[in-house]
Structure 1
Amino acid sequence: MKNKRQSVILEIIASGEIETQEELIERLAEKGFHVTQATVSRDIKELKLVKVAAKSRKTKYAPLAGQALTIPEQLMPVFTHGFVSADSVNNLVLIKTLPGMAQAVASAIDSLKLSETLGTIAGDDALLIVCRTDACAEDVVLTLKGFAK
């Protein structure tokens, strides 16, 4: 429940300018999450959200700048060794891996906790990532290719 709520919070702040915790509470309620201000405050802290300047000359919540995506040190060799290619079609990302490496590569990708992904399915030498949008799928491909270099 908490992970789902925090994922929805990230979606909400990505889709519009949320200026206050009260606004965020209202938007969460619209999506079926009835929470208190204390809960939202804890989520904001855990997600490392900060107030930044908005286009409207006010402030809005956004992820902390420079909050880098990282694959844990012990999984990075698995990812770089097993990853072969990545491509997207619509909101799907197909990752090709060396034979027998798809599940290990999927574990490394899952460790990124990408908010725009809904899940990964791994076979023997390929895995499928389901993203929320087509644009997010393209971003995931670029991110993964960046890690593979």
Structure 2
Amino acid sequence: MKTRRQMKIQEIINNQVIHTQEELAELLRKAGFDVTQATVSRDIKEMGLIKVPTSEDDYRYAVPGTAQPLSTPDRLKRRLRETVVTVNDSENLVVLRTIPGNAQALASLIDHSNWEEVIGTVAGDDTILLVVKPAGAVPGVRERIAKLMQ
């Protein structure tokens, strides 16, 4: 049952813009699945679904790697200003702490901004780890983030 439900979730988010867990739960119920918001939340976590920006200045659920989020410099600048709480670094890593629930969307914007020094990001709920190469580029990355947040 869980596998069928998660396959249906993937089908729904690939074919429709889903903004909230409640929307997804309602569509699953209409498709014949008896689900609660908590069940949908667990499925989203297990499936590794992320929220990506839409053209309407909003966010939708997506399977990692399938969505093409808009990554304009203005959008990145705004999201950094609105969601970043702290910036710290160690060796070749930069850690951004965000308001809860914003790390994955912001990490996606950073990933699609093609910063040569950032070879990848890892995001949780409120923390983003930027892997920087070479380590000597960390001050430049921090400076870029600081400028964008002004």
TM-score, scaled relative to structure 2: 0.48
TM-score, scaled relative to structure 1: 0.48
